[in-house]
Amino acid sequence: ARWYVLAVSYIVVVKLVVALVYRVTTGAWPRFGQVPWYLMLAATIGSTLVGGQAGEEVGWRGYALPRLAARFGLGGASVLLGALWALWHLPLFFVPEADTAGQSFPLYLLQVTALSVAMAWLYANTRGSLLPVMLMHAAVNNTKDIVPSADPNATNAWALSHSLVAWLTVAVLSLCAGYFLLRMRKIPQLTREVAQSV
């Protein structure tokens, strides 16, 4: 049960920590999203079952991660997969109707790579179960705007963001990813178990 709690709450906790750090450093609270928590939860559960991230996770964590882990270790595989995952979404930064249009792709790359490490940690600790990582992916998609990172004036996908919330989000996610990577190195059987699931 704790891994499902982690899957649902991970990005929410990260964003609330970001809001607290923002408050301490600037003296003001960041802008909070307007979507009620129960709608975010319903969207997370619903899109886990029928959303596009379910199919993505069959490919990313179900197929690619075990094969990459067999070659690069779990930590290396999760970082490499994060970069590939971000590049997969690159075209959306140039589609005017997309919510990522004009946003900073370099920051997105850092953020998604850190998320990939967390998802690999979750995948390994649930013995290769895809449901928790599908749930985490859906939760990220549906709850990330509890404290929005988007820069409303952004127009250049290759520029760095001017959003302090975006930078703080990357910092918190990276600290968590660093912790997970250290834990992966100290528990080598995680890599063996993931690699053997091929």
Chain segment 34-82, per-residue pLDDT in tens: 999 889 988 888 888 887 777 889 999 999 999 999 999 999 999 999 9
Q: For residues 72 and 57, what is the distance between their CA atoms, to the nearest angstrom?
A: 19
Are 30 and 147 a contacting pair, CB within 8 Å?
yes
In the block, residue with structure tokens 């301490």? 24
What pLDDT is recorded for position 152?
87
| pLDDT the model gives residue 191 | 67
Q: What is the pLDDT, as a whole number, of residue 117?
A: 98
pLDDT (0 to 100) of residue 195: 67
pLDDT of residue 140: 93
> Given this model, what pLDDT does residue 188 score?
67
Q: Which of 49, 76, 17 is nearest to 142 (CA)?
A: 49
CB 176 within 8 A of CB 14: yes
* pLDDT at site 93: 95
Residues of the chain predicted below pLDDT 50: none
Q: Model-level pTM?
A: 0.92
Structure confidence at residue 54 (pLDDT): 74
Q: What are phi and psi of 34, to 5 degrees?
A: -105, -5
Q: How far apart are alpha carbons 71 and 74 in whole angstroms?
A: 9
